[in-house]
Amino acid sequence: MNAVAFFNNKGGVGKTTLVYHLAWMFAEMGLTVVVADLDPQSNLTSMFLDEDRLIELWPEGRHPLTIQGVVDPIMRGIGDVKLPHTEQIASRIHLIPGDLGLSGFEDKLSEAWPKCHNRDESAFRVMTAFYRAILQSADKHGADVVLVDVGPNLGALNRAVLIGSQHVVIPLAADLFSLQGLRNLGPQLRTWRAAWTDLRTKSPDPDLPLPSGEMKPAGYVVTQHANRADRPVKAYLRWMNRIPAEYCESVLGQTASGDLRVEEDSNCLARLKHYRSLMPLAMEARKPIFLLRPSDGAIGAHVEAVRDCYEDFRNLAQQILARIHE
């Protein structure tokens, strides 16, 4: 299973929009995709599904068709994970719907982590719940790639999600807050990776599927930069060129060259423009920007922007595939 988590503990960097568009692009490229919405805000689910379907998935009481329903037996202490229900968005896109109630799993995960040191089998089942559920879904659908949307924090829920991901892509905005996010995120990933490497040797059940906990940084994506004459404006450029060194030092734990620019940095997977005028059209049509057609209102100058967006995301998808297959 090639699971790629999209994570930054700083919000507002276009993470969910990025995952949504990549799911569609991988499908365009002929790949089968499982998308797991493990951010309790569930914005990715609301991008894929209309309001009527959301009402059906999130009734009063229990939600058996969402990720909360998958882990509900563990949360209640009455069983193990269920095979996830998926919504078929397109022939090659399968969504594990998110749920606002997922945040209720946080305390259970916090308690389980230290218990793994004591070879507590139930604790290992709690810690690997997301990994095992997604693995089942990926196997069922023959997924070529799994995309995981993760909330913007460094809590126990995200720790459990990330140890089940082989790769991590970090979306960034070119601002001070994203740089600070890297300083927090990088050391925490290394701490979790080292701790899980030790813990997984203590599992008492040799038949329980355990994630490797690699969380290998696949690179970063600079999102929503403004363009003027095909170059980022000064306010963005100021922070953008500080990203390569900060990523290298904070995330990779390596000594960085201070004069490396984003466009020269092999860790930069893409710089994505903010297609402001096209986003409302895409939301109305319930499709990614790069699949907008004249019938959706993408006419005139929008036609070229749609074409540019397609190329941007195709290139990014190819970059991610190359990293996860290295």
Tell me which architecture the domain covering 3-324 has in CATH.
Answer: 3-Layer(aba) Sandwich (3.40)
Q: How far apart are the first and last CA of the chain?
A: 14
The low-confidence residues of the chain, meaning pLDDT below 50, are 228-229
What was the pLDDT predicted at 259? 80
Q: CA separation (Å) from 131 to 221, 240, 310?
A: 25, 34, 31
Backbone angles phi, psi at 261, to 5 degrees: -95, 155
Can you give the pTM of this predicted structure?
Answer: 0.95
What lies within 8 Å, CB to CB, of 22 at 6+ separation is 147, 313, 316, 317, 320
The structural domains of the chain, with segments of one domain joined by +, span 3-324
